[in-house]
Structure 1
Amino acid sequence: MYGWIWRHLPGNTWVKALLSLLLALAAVYVLFQYVFPWAEPLLPFGDATVDEQ
């Protein structure tokens, strides 16, 4: 997959590296702004309970 992306980006090596970095940052932004907040209520990590003894 990464090879396919690299081959389809325009420009020389430096431009491709910069575009790859921008794509990675955009993916992280989308994950933190939209995907993780949507998925958080569906995950069981906040349902920790302690039994009283």
Structure 2
Amino acid sequence: MISTRIWNALPGPALVRLLILLIVVAAVVLVLFEYVFPWISEYLALQETTVEET
């Protein structure tokens, strides 16, 4: 599996591998929230929602 290959490719003992993996995941989430999601929201009409009264 891909997750096994990633885990085996990381250097060091299990604790160091876990710390590296957590840092990488945090960096990916940061890049998504800071750059990718705002860029995508310009092309999607998520803020222009309307609610009709019935």
- Corresponding residue of 2:36: 35
Deviation larger for 36-45 or 16-25: 36-45
- Which amino acid in 2 is paired with 1:3? T
Q: Deviations over 1:4-45 (max 9, x none)?
A: 211100001000000000000010111011101100112232
Judge which range, 16-25 or 43-52, deviates more. Answer: 43-52
CA distance in 1, matches of 2:5, 2:35: 26
Equivalence for 2:20? 19
List alignment gaps of at least 5 residues for structure 2: none
Aligned length: 53
TM-score (normalised: structure 2): 0.80
Q: Which has the higher helix share?
A: 1
Identity among equivalent pairs (%): 42
Aligned partner letter, 1:13: A
CA RMSD of aligned residues (A): 1.8
